[in-house]
Chains A and B, each alone.
Chain A
Amino acid sequence: MSTGKQQLNRRQFLKASAAAVITLSAVGSLAFWLKDKSDVKDKGFLRPPGAIPEEDFLFACIKCGLCVQICPVHAVKLADWDTGLSYGTPYIDPNVQACDFSCDSIQCAETCPTSALHFPVFRSAGEKAVEELYKQYPNRKLPPNVNPFVVQIHAMKRAYKLGVAKVNVQQCLAYHGQGYKGPLTKHRAKMRPPGKGDRIYTDEITVDRKICDLCVVYCPLQEDAIVLKDQGGGKFLPEVLDGCVGCGVCQMVCPTEPKAIVIEPEENPKV
């Protein structure tokens, strides 16, 4: 036998539960709708290195921001409502600050606790490269001028594609035989120029080029990824090679508006 008070409690509970279920279904349908709209490819943003396919990324990423904290050039940001991405997920806007490859070990992927940025891809690539390096020498003895660590990092940074650079020929200054003089970027961004050296602020240095070739000069992967080709008649055009991993530095330093070289995000295979 249930007393009157118990009955009242039950009615209250059922009423509140009904409200909860209605709210939850509303939230759920909104989530489905938003999920359709959240497509990193359309928005011109990149996911950080090692991002698993978007479908899995959305549940694997817990939006903690550890990748944001660890990035030495602060390339990774967390999506807000206005980005059109799923709220709180990390992204890179190469127009503002590209991933410049100046970190030591792809820490953003290494720090990710849920493997939304999948580190084992990098690790195995690095280990494989070192193993092959040792095999090249008799008795696996490296000469003193060969540093396996450099080889390892080099291989790790090439292990994963964020996208591929695409050149918009009509926009390109070099194609019209024009040069560029002025600050490397108008806004403040951080990067390490190819080769050795400290990180610089891109708005602090001035460049003067007879033929604009900033994307080629500042590409972290250099001739593996991009070269300037003579088109004849004083015209030049950068050519993107297979080595390009889509870090976005070329897009960041490109002086034209809209950019003559843009990264097309590429979804990587399921791990």
Chain B
Amino acid sequence: MAFIYDFLHGDKRRKPLPAKKKDELPHVRLGMTYKEWHDQAKGRHTWRNRRWAFLIFINLLFVVSFTFDLGLLEGSLSGSRLLGLYLMDPFNSTQELAIGATKGYIPHLTTNFWTGFITILVFYWLVGGRAFCSWVCPYHFFAEWGEKFHDYWIKKRKIKEKTYDITVKYVFWIGFILLALLTGELVFENLNPVGILSRSIIYGPGLALIWVVALLAYEVIGVKRFWCRYVCPIGVTYSFIGELSPINIKFELDKCGHCRDCQDVCLVPHELWFVKKGAATREVHYTGGDCTKCGLCIDACPGGSLSYGIRDSDLIFKS
């Protein structure tokens, strides 16, 4: 365990680099006031807009394909077929394989299942695991809006901020797999807001939407991004896949002014641990598996210290 932790999070254990002195901060070097420097990122939503456009495009493609019988992207987010190529939800498939192993069902799974499962694993390893969450998942889209209301009410002091331990999602992940094994049924699928929303969007709304609305309401008035942060086992599965993805959010220490605006907008602020003053242990850091690659931090960063990058490209190609 310790070996794996070191391999994945070894950077956290290194000795931090000395904190920046005042004249090393980017706004001082650029000859700006802190406010001028900090305002550079104001109202910038480049990546968010691109991402929303992509998310809506993908989900509409499902709808259009079904309504007009085009066969471009069929099925739903639980399992789909893109121009004939199957794609499988990794957590669904994991449960399927777990139950299948106990009941001798695995030989019955089709070649399409395996190609779909492997395609998704390889693709999301490349683009960064939980990129699914922010770039495809329809629940994330609504939850992002819910978060805005939540933040507004926090600001107005109508509600209090509550957080839980983030590692509880692993308990849920194991728990849902165990439940699937015990009941011999994909129990999680009954609660899965991703699947429910996806099916409702494509095949018409159903009663199960009540659960999704209740969940959203709880995220707005209760705990910020409750489902995505602490429960969703699909996200956890993608985070396993994306732990060592090549495409990642790259952090450059010398451009960072430690304003920590990025952590305020981030769904998983613990992934940006290195932006705290005196926390970074290298000149360049990359986010880990929990990062959804949504790009909100890139938009929010006044100094341009965060960007999309290839993991460890700075170590491989030293210029």
Report A's interface with B, CB cutoff 8 A.
9, 12-13, 15-17, 19-21, 24, 27-28, 31-32, 34-35, 55-56, 58-66, 68-70, 77-78, 80-82, 86-88, 111-115, 118-119, 271
Contacts and interface: CB of A to CB of B under 8 A. Distances in A.
B183 A24 contact: no
18 contacts: A20-B172, A20-B175, A27-B191, A28-B183, A58-B185, A58-B186, A64-B80, A65-B76, A65-B202, A78-B206, A80-B207, A81-B206, A87-B208, A88-B78, A88-B189, A113-B116, A114-B96, A114-B113
Contacts of B88: 62, 113
B79 interface: yes
Nearest to A82: B207
B108 interface: yes
Contacts of A115: 108-110, 113
Nearest to B108: A115
Contacts of A70: 74
Contacts of A65: 75-76, 78, 199, 202-203
Given A17-B171, A69-B66, A28 B179 contact: yes
Interface string B170-182: 0110011011101
Contact of A64 (B76, B105, B182): B76
Contact of A63 (B78, B179, B182, B207): B78
A82 B116 CA distance: 31
Interface of B: 65-66, 74-76, 78-81, 86, 88-89, 92-93, 95-96, 99-100, 103, 105, 108-110, 112-113, 116, 164-165, 167-168, 171-172, 175-176, 178-180, 182-187, 189-191, 195-196, 199, 202-203, 206-208, 230
Contacts, number: 148
Contact of B168 (A20, A80, A114): A20
A271 B104 CA distance: 11
Nearest to B207: A81
Contact of A56 (B81, B103, B175): B103
Contacts of B93: 62
Q: Which 8 A-B pairs have the closest CB atoms?
A: A64-B79, A80-B206, A16-B168, A24-B175, A81-B207, A13-B165, A113-B113, A115-B108
Given A21-B175, A78-B203, A62 B92 contact: yes
Contacts of B206: 78, 80-81
Contact of B189 (A9, A82, A87, A271): A87
A80 B207 CA distance: 6
A34 B208 CA distance: 15
B74 A69 contact: yes
Contacts of B99: 59
B62 to A, nearest CB: 9
A246 to B, nearest CB: 23
A118 B185 CA distance: 18
A7 to B, nearest CB: 13
Nearest to A13: B165
Contacts of B81: 66, 111
A91 B104 CA distance: 25
Given A16-B165, A31-B183, A113-B86, A63 B105 contact: no
Given A56-B105, A115-B110, 8 more contacts: A55-B184, A59-B185, A60-B108, A63-B78, A65-B199, A113-B109, A115-B109, A119-B110
Contacts of B103: 56, 59
A121 to B, nearest CB: 11
Given A66-B75, A115-B110, A59 B207 contact: no
B182 A28 contact: yes
A114 B187 CA distance: 17
Given A16-B165, A66-B80, A21 B185 contact: no
A60 B96 contact: yes
Contacts of B189: 62-63, 87-88
A62 B168 CA distance: 25
A59 B186 contact: yes
Nearest to B168: A16
Contacts of A15: 165
A28 B201 CA distance: 27
Nearest to A14: B165
Nearest to B183: A31
Contacts of B203: 65, 68, 77-78
Nearest to B175: A24
